[in-house]
A and B are shown apart, each in its own frame.
Chain A
Amino acid sequence: MDLSKKTFHWMMTQRICLQETACYTNAVTQEATEEVSLDSPEREPILSDGPSPAITPVTPTAMLTPRMGLGTAEMFERSLDEIEEDDSGDTFDMHIAVSDPEKVGDGMNAYMGYKVTTKTSMTIFSKNETTVRRRFSDFLGLHSKLASRYLHIGYIVPPAPEKSIVGMTKVKVGKEDLSSAEFVEKRRSALERYLMRTVKHPILLKDPDVMMFLESSELPRAVSTQALSGAGILRMVNKAADAVNKMTIKMNESDAWFEEKHQQFENLDLQLRKLHASVECLVCHRKELSVNTASFAKSAAMLGNSEDHTALSRALSQLAEVEEKIDQLHQDQAYADFYLFSELLGDYVRLITAVKGVFDHRMKTWSKWQDTQLLLQKKREAESKLQFANKPDKLQQAQDEIKEEIEELEGKVQQGEKDFELISKTIRKEVSRFEKERVKDFKVVIIKYLESLVQTQQQLIKYWEAFLPEAKAIA
């Protein structure tokens, strides 16, 4: 049985269409078949919240970590705020599909290639429809760039799907079984959701790397995403260092909003994880039920065969058929449980981690500012102490030097304060966006899930209604 085909067939027949077609403008050709995606169908134009205060353009070059080397610095000549407001009259109208997973190459160097199709009517894109081929590390590379560019200034960058060494190895080695086909489908679906979330962010959408990812036919290979590469190891080391630093920073939170939100996200994280675990448990349990139902169906068929009363024998065979169909129903429901519910929860858990990440970055920004202030203070003390130094000829030179240093530090302190204020403002906006959009996702998804449950019950009723007269016919 070709599982990849089977999965798609289920999704098509279930007609789970989460993309409202209302927002397609006439320029876009209507898709004949309905695509599956787990993102919200809501299409509110992204509004900026009120007139923006005058802010001197921020040159992020000072904030770039040494890791980032690929040059797209021209983009930062405009302030990020300006970019957001300049929506050139475009309402958000975009649809990305990830499809056609195809294995390329052999052995341990093999990889899965995916087709990425973008359909849009927005003017910032050069074409209405583009198709490119990408591999998993390309997605990770994109995320890595976006994260290093935007996370530390407070933007919630959607996390990329996780690596899975086990899952991928099976695929590479050519193991053509149920679990590896499921793995590929899981990944394809996750990649699609990832891209959609990324482009829904007004800032990220306009990032040149995002556009290049969606439109260029060739992408430079993102080697630094490999787990065991030099960059990968550096990432791990930095993560550990971050964790230690987090523990030692004690921030005087003057803003109650941040304190409250931080706690809320901690609680949400915990609870979502629990919910995720219980949904996974449900999926597992349904699969077990399916296996046992199939096994009983076979047994009932055998019993029907050996029963020597004709009408009873027929009824037992019918019972076996009903149970077989019910088994299939359980399997389909397990897919729904998984794709509609469990995967979404997993995405959310990862998203909340990204949110907590930006809160941490704010803390770090604050900490840096405070450190610079402390340094300035020390220099000023050193300056005043200089007055009492006993070498008058060297005094002037030392005083000049220290004055220079103090000026520089004063500039840095000012900058640090601005950075802190900026990241605080950004986070407030981002969290508010998150609360409006993401949370609506949940409602939509749960309603779709309940609809799938409704369908299951309706099918169940059909099967038993067909069986009842057979049972009554036993004479």
Chain B
Amino acid sequence: QAKLGSPRAVNVDLQTDATLQVDISDALSERDKVKFTVHTKSTLPNFKQNEFSVVRQHEEFIWLHDSFVENEEYAGYIIPPAPPRPDFDASREKLQKLGEGEGSMTKEEFTKMKQELEAEYLAIFKKTVAMHEVFLCRVAAHPVLRKDLNFHVFLEYNQDLSVRGKNKREKMEDFFKNVVKSADGVLVAGVKDVDDFFEHEKTFLLEYHNRVKDASAKSDRMIRSHKSKSPLSHNLHVLGKLFAIYMDLNQFFLKVSELFEKTRKIEARVAADEDLKLADLLKYYLRESQAAKDLLYRRGRALVDYENANKALDRARAKNKDVLQAETSQQVCCQKFEKISESAKQELIDFKTRRVAAFRKNLVELAELELKHAKGNLQLLQSCLGVLKGDT
């Protein structure tokens, strides 16, 4: 079990608005689920109180997200990407293995490993909380989505929403829907758009999304290999004890061993910071760019429907049969398309603004942290060298 009490930094730059502020004030990680305490502050009249909290689980976030996606009214907006499922499996397994192996290692070793694994667990925990929080903040910041009824229920209703996870059949349905959608998406993407803005966005997003995907995977791999598994400092320490027979070499080795232990800890922090500022950023924009692509798909779909309706109207007029029906149908399609186009344009512009701001913030913070750690490392190395050279 793990509990988290303080608010975390949000890694996506969003405008805060006094009329509706949402955050995750607390979280509890139990064996197989995580409970998030969603805290809302609002001056809006829709809510019974100005400040209140509810407890939500991951499935309820997914339910909310899916309800947005399925709502035709929101076809013209970039739906904030759903937070990924909390995954502590690997971390829990490691902790379990450690517990089983307790008898085979010294108390020192055990305590050290336990601390490291707990820190790892905590890091994963913090991340999942941050990602769920970002989702809610995005919704709260959106001029239209923040008014959604399901969202308000999610925030306020203090009972269990009784949202069960999708059963096998529903998951199969989803799978097929996705297959159809991607096939359709290819078709729709092939249709050239008269509007330059959207044509450009389509080309851009396609390429961008793929490249972000690649960068995200490569950054993960790079950061994983930052975490050294070499027991170098431990071995130096033991060697130091052996060298006790040789004059003062014992002290020398012990100091070096201590140094390596400290620098190893700094390296671990570098990896953790890179993970937070770089890897998470890329992962997030992978999901957001997908959501933007989905928006373009919906618009493209609407455009195709509109064009088909036009053709149907022409045919009806030619045959002079069911003309009224064809006219209404064409009007509906036209309105739908224009509505989507209008909001989509603004959404895509906002997406760019958010993206640039988020990258700026994270890249600056990344550079600052890298500098901080490199300077820390340098200082450790130089002071140790000073001591060692003084001895010899």
| B65-73, B110-118, B376-384 - interface stretch | B376-384
A296 touches B232 (CB 8 A): no
| A267 contacts partner chain B, Cβ-Cβ < 8 Å | yes
A464: B residues at CB distance < 8 A: 367, 370-371, 374
A282 touches B232 (CB 8 A): yes
B218 touches A295 (CB 8 A): yes
B385 touches A451 (CB 8 A): yes
A292: B residues at CB distance < 8 A: 218, 221-222, 224-225
B364 touches A296 (CB 8 A): no
**Complex Cα–Cα for A465 and B392 (A):** 35
**Complex Cα–Cα for A316 and B229 (A):** 30
A457 touches B381 (CB 8 A): yes
| A471 contacts partner chain B, Cβ-Cβ < 8 Å | yes
A457 touches B377 (CB 8 A): yes
Given B221, B231, B363, B384, which contacts A319 in the complex, CB threshold below 8 Å? B363
B374: A residues at CB distance < 8 A: 457, 460-461, 464
B367 touches A467 (CB 8 A): yes
| A132 contacts partner chain B, Cβ-Cβ < 8 Å | no
| B146-154, B186-194, B205-213 - interface stretch | B205-213
**Complex Cα–Cα for A305 and B230 (A):** 37
**Complex Cα–Cα for A274 and B212 (A):** 42
B215 touches A300 (CB 8 A): yes
A285 touches B371 (CB 8 A): no
**Complex Cα–Cα for A300 and B363 (A):** 12
| B235 contacts partner chain A, Cβ-Cβ < 8 Å | yes
- Identity of the chain A residue whose Cβ is nearest the Cβ of B353 in the assembled complex: A309
**Complex Cα–Cα for A264 and B388 (A):** 25
Overall SS of chain A's interface: helix
| A365 contacts partner chain B, Cβ-Cβ < 8 Å | no
A295 touches B221 (CB 8 A): yes
B215 touches A447 (CB 8 A): no
A315 touches B359 (CB 8 A): yes
Given B204, B231, B363, which contacts A278 in the complex, CB threshold below 8 Å? B231
B363 touches A447 (CB 8 A): no
Do A461 and B228 contact each other (CB < 8 Å), given the known contacts A447-B389, A450-B381?
A: no
Taking the closest CB of chain A, its distance from the CB of B58, in whole angstroms, is 30
B235 touches A274 (CB 8 A): yes
Do A295 and B222 contact each other (CB < 8 Å), given the known contacts A315-B363, A442-B249?
A: yes
| B239 contacts partner chain A, Cβ-Cβ < 8 Å | yes
B238: A residues at CB distance < 8 A: 271, 274
B214 touches A299 (CB 8 A): yes
| B256 contacts partner chain A, Cβ-Cβ < 8 Å | yes
| B199 contacts partner chain A, Cβ-Cβ < 8 Å | no
| B310 contacts partner chain A, Cβ-Cβ < 8 Å | no
B245: A residues at CB distance < 8 A: 264
A285 touches B225 (CB 8 A): yes
Given B230, B367, B385, which contacts A450 in the complex, CB threshold below 8 Å? B385
B211 touches A299 (CB 8 A): yes
| A307 contacts partner chain B, Cβ-Cβ < 8 Å | yes
Taking the closest CB of chain B, its distance from the CB of A455, in whole angstroms, is 10
B221: A residues at CB distance < 8 A: 292, 295-296
| A472 contacts partner chain B, Cβ-Cβ < 8 Å | yes
| B102 contacts partner chain A, Cβ-Cβ < 8 Å | no
Find residues 347-368 in chain B having any chain A CB closer than 8 Å to their own CB: 352, 355-356, 359-360, 363-364, 366-368
A454 touches B385 (CB 8 A): yes
Chain A 284-295, CB-CB to B under 8 Å as 1, else 0, gives: 010011001101
| B329 contacts partner chain A, Cβ-Cβ < 8 Å | no
**Complex Cα–Cα for A448 and B217 (A):** 37
What size tier do the contact residues of chain B reach? 35 or more
A281 touches B218 (CB 8 A): no
Taking the closest CB of chain A, its distance from the CB of B95, in whole angstroms, is 24
Find residues 411-461 in chain A having any chain B CB closer than 8 Å to their own CB: 435, 439, 442-443, 446-447, 450-451, 453-454, 457-458, 460-461
Taking the closest CB of chain A, its distance from the CB of B385, in whole angstroms, is 5
Find residues 240-295 in chain B having any chain A CB closer than 8 Å to their own CB: 242-243, 245-247, 249, 252, 256, 259, 263
Contact count A vs B, C-beta below 8 Å: 153
A306 touches B208 (CB 8 A): yes
Do A306 and B385 contact each other (CB < 8 Å), given the known contacts A281-B229, A292-B225, A439-B246?
A: no
| A104 contacts partner chain B, Cβ-Cβ < 8 Å | no
Do A312 and B360 contact each other (CB < 8 Å), given the known contacts A302-B211, A307-B208?
A: yes
Taking the closest CB of chain A, its distance from the CB of B379, in whole angstroms, is 9
Given B356, B371, B382, which contacts A454 in the complex, CB threshold below 8 Å? B382
Given B263, B363, B388, which contacts A474 in the complex, CB threshold below 8 Å? B363
- Identity of the chain A residue whose Cβ is nearest the Cβ of B363 in the assembled complex: A471
Do A471 and B364 contact each other (CB < 8 Å), given the known contacts A282-B230, A292-B221, A453-B381?
A: yes
A308: B residues at CB distance < 8 A: 204, 208, 352
A446: B residues at CB distance < 8 A: 252, 256, 388
| A234 contacts partner chain B, Cβ-Cβ < 8 Å | no
**Complex Cα–Cα for A426 and B355 (A):** 75
**Complex Cα–Cα for A471 and B364 (A):** 5
A471 touches B384 (CB 8 A): no
B364 touches A289 (CB 8 A): no
B366: A residues at CB distance < 8 A: 471
| A210 contacts partner chain B, Cβ-Cβ < 8 Å | no
**Complex Cα–Cα for A271 and B364 (A):** 44
| B219 contacts partner chain A, Cβ-Cβ < 8 Å | yes
B224: A residues at CB distance < 8 A: 292
Given A272, A289, A468, which contacts B239 in the complex, CB threshold below 8 Å? A272
| A275 contacts partner chain B, Cβ-Cβ < 8 Å | yes
**Complex Cα–Cα for A468 and B369 (A):** 11
A285: B residues at CB distance < 8 A: 225, 228-230
**Complex Cα–Cα for A303 and B381 (A):** 36
| A268 contacts partner chain B, Cβ-Cβ < 8 Å | yes
B252 touches A443 (CB 8 A): yes
Given B222, B232, B246, B252, which contacts A435 in the complex, CB threshold below 8 Å? B246
| A279 contacts partner chain B, Cβ-Cβ < 8 Å | yes
A467: B residues at CB distance < 8 A: 367
B219: A residues at CB distance < 8 A: 296, 299
**Complex Cα–Cα for A275 and B242 (A):** 12
A302: B residues at CB distance < 8 A: 211, 214-215
Find residues 25-57 in chain B having any chain A CB closer than 8 Å to their own CB: none
B368: A residues at CB distance < 8 A: 468
Taking the closest CB of chain A, its distance from the CB of B387, in whole angstroms, is 11
Taking the closest CB of chain A, its distance from the CB of B246, in whole angstroms, is 5
A271: B residues at CB distance < 8 A: 235, 238-239, 242
- Identity of the chain A residue whose Cβ is nearest the Cβ of B385 in the assembled complex: A450
- Identity of the chain B residue whose Cβ is nearest the Cβ of A274 in the assembled complex: B235
A296 touches B229 (CB 8 A): no
16 A–B contact pairs at CB < 8 A? A278-B234, A285-B225, A292-B221, A296-B219, A302-B211, A302-B214, A303-B211, A306-B204, A306-B207, A312-B359, A312-B360, A316-B359, A453-B263, A461-B374, A468-B368, A471-B360
Extra contacts, 10 of them, besides A299-B217, A439-B249, A461-B374 (Cβ < 8 A), are A282-B232, A295-B222, A303-B208, A312-B355, A315-B363, A439-B247, A447-B388, A447-B392, A450-B259, A454-B385
A: which residues have CB within 8 A of B? Answer: 264, 267-268, 271-272, 274-275, 278-279, 281-282, 285, 288-289, 292-293, 295-296, 298-300, 302-303, 305-309, 311-312, 315-316, 319, 435, 439, 442-443, 446-447, 450-451, 453-454, 457-458, 460-461, 464-465, 467-468, 471-472, 474-475
List the 7 shortest-distance A-B pairs measured between CB atoms, nearest first: A471-B363, A474-B360, A457-B378, A292-B222, A296-B218, A468-B367, A299-B215
B: which residues have CB within 8 A of A? Answer: 204, 207-208, 211-212, 214-215, 217-219, 221-222, 224-226, 228-232, 234-236, 238-239, 242-243, 245-247, 249, 252, 256, 259, 263, 352, 355-356, 359-360, 363-364, 366-368, 370-371, 374-375, 377-378, 381-382, 384-385, 388-389, 392
